[in-house]
Structure formats: C-alpha cells, structure tokens
Amino acid sequence: MEMNASDIKHTPFPAAGTMTDAEREELRRHGILLTSLEELYNWGRSNSIWPIQFGLACCAIEMIAAATARFDIARFGAEIFRPSPRQADLMIVSGTVTKKMAPLVVRLWNQMPEPKYCIAMGACAISGGPFKQGYNVLKGIDRFLPVDIYIPGCPPRPEALLNGLIQLQEKIKGEKLTGPNAARHVRSDVNNEHPIPEYGAHDLVPSKNTALWSPPASPTT
C-alpha cells in the first residue's frame, strides 16, 4: 500500500478519524473491529519481542526465572530468546557491565537489526550499582547505548522484569510510523550504530558516548 506522509493527519490516538475510544469499543462489541495500520503493526510487534539471549550477572538468573513456568514471560510474547543478535529485537542488559565487556555489548547492539530496544535491568546496568566507584565496572550502560526502560532492583524480581516488558510494550504501541515524531526504525536520518569504545590504560576510550549521555550537573553549580 502506497502512503504519502501528506495523506495522513496526525491526530492523537485513535489514528482513524475523530472517533473516540468509547465509540470504537461500542463497535467492537457489535463485531466490528476498527483499527489503523499503525495500531495493528505496533500491536503485532509489541506482542512478539524476541530478546537476545545473553546474561551478564545475577540479574540474568532472575531473567531466566522470568522465562520459566512460574513467571512465564511467554504470556507477553517474549519467550523466544535468540542466540543471535541478528534475530533479536530486545537487548536485556541483565547485570554488571564490566569495562572489559562493554565494547562487546555495544558490538552486539550494533549487530541487531532495527527495530530494536534496550532494557537496563538492575542497579549495575543502570549506574554501576554497588561497583560504581570501582576500577573495572561501567557506570551504566546508558553511556554507550540508548536505553528504553530502566528496571531498578538488586536484582529486580521476575515480576519487575515483566513490568518493564509491559512498559516497553506500551512504548512500542505508542510509536508513530510517519511524521516528525516517527519511530527510529522507520527513519532514514537516524543512525543507530554506536561507536565501540577502545580499551585504554585505565578506562574505556572514550569513557562515554557524549552523543547519548552527559553527566548530571550538580544542582549547586
């Protein structure tokens, strides 16, 4: 189907005309399903997120527990952990990212095709956690990757991971396919390959991707 950007009026959800959610729900009860291409596409994608199968520390144990029968991540369509980044949609950074591991994590991210998402799971992946001022742990994966969802906890329970996944699904369902606010993967002007840092004498070089992340300013200065 050919679509020109000028044909589509950018209205808040629902994309189809001026119909309200209540009217749509009323029609649905009579067996008429009204939807938009955008909504259908995002619904399909958000219910089939394939994570890349890799774990870094104790958070990975909770991630594995979330995939087992007790918590069952399959209820949310994300049970197919792919061993290849080429087939994955979601990178769950589950655990401590050491400076030795960080370039490899960025490389895996670069190897994943769009659309792709990143969850920083646990205190270490968010900020370095208890190892923040150590010599060998990255102070948060958001220095090198665009993180979509942060899940706090040390480690977060499987329910927290599932909640993070639901949050990510909501984010995907809200994505636009056209217009100035279109999602990253439908745009040609956004490069989502990030430079891989080198190993330096004491830290990674550069120690952060300044295009993605800048240190918080002190409120006193």
Q: Which is nearer to another protein, 134 or 195 (CB)?
A: 134
Least CB distance from residue 144 to another protein, whole Å?
Answer: 15
Cross-strand bridge partners of residue 51: 90
Q: Which is nearer to another protein, 129 or 158 (CB)?
A: 129
Q: What is the largest CA-CA distance in the chain?
A: 68
- Contact flags string 38-67 toward another protein, x per CB under 8 A: ------------------------------
Phi, psi of 198, deg, nearest 5: -95, 160
Q: Which is nearer to another protein, 28 or 202 (CB)?
A: 202
Tell me the C-alpha distance between 217 and 214, whole Å: 9
152 binds another protein (CB under 8 A): no
**Cβ contact 39:15 at 8 Å:** yes
**Cβ contact 95:50 at 8 Å:** no
Q: How many residues bind another protein (CB under 8 A)?
A: 21
**Cβ contact 107:97 at 8 Å:** no
104 binds another protein (CB under 8 A): no
Buried b (16+ CB within 10 A) or exposed e, 161-193: bbebbeebbeebbebbbbeeeebebeeeeeeee
Least CB distance from residue 131 to another protein, whole Å?
Answer: 12
32 binds another protein (CB under 8 A): no
- Contact flags string 126-145 toward another protein, x per CB under 8 A: -x----xx-xx--x------
Q: Which is nearer to another protein, 42 or 127 (CB)?
A: 127
Binding site residues, another protein, CB under 8 A: 99-100, 127, 132-133, 135-136, 139, 199-203, 207, 214-219, 221
